[in-house]
Amino acid sequence: MITRTTTSGPPLLTLRIDWSELDLYGHVNNLAFMKYVQASRIHYTEVLGIAAWFTTEKKGFLLASSAIQFKQPLYYPGQVHIQANITFIKNSSFGIRHQLFNEDNDLVATAEDVLVLYDYNSGTKLLFPADLRKKVAQLENSTF
């Protein structure tokens, strides 16, 4: 069984499981998992400054793809912990892996996102800026 380890570095987001997220069988519905991943994605892009970049320059990202693999159910009441990591950086796209853990720190799901940097003014993709790449490398304690 995979468990979460507490480390410094990339963002960890903790969310409360809401009763309204349950399905007929009493566990968290798959759509709620996707909402948790979305919250993690936005949280990570806020940490990187991409959210502020959109506010000031109308540059940000588009979600190109998202996929999730369910490992075991989540239950109410409780919390879900989402650990996000950048997995790759290309010319204009990058990947984020999300690992979702229950309160016992057991892995309950993994998700993979591909995001594309995008200029909303011109309607074109953006090259991944060197300063943003450096920030990711520092946050992830890795080179990209």
Q: What is the pLDDT of residues 9-27, one digit of tens each?
A: 678 999 999 999 999 999 9
Q: What is the pLDDT of residues 76-105, one digit of tens each?
A: 999 999 999 999 999 999 999 999 999 999
Q: Is omega for the bond preceding 11 within 30 degrees of 0, making it cis?
A: no
Domain boundaries defined on the chain: 12-140
CA 35 to CA 21: how far, in whole Å? Answer: 10
Whether the model clears a pTM of 0.75, i.e. scores above it, the answer is yes
| Mean pLDDT (whole number) for 131-138 | 95
Q: Does domain 12-140 have CATH number 3.10.129.10?
A: yes
**Strands (DSSP E) found in 2-106:** 12-16, 59-70, 79-89, 93-101
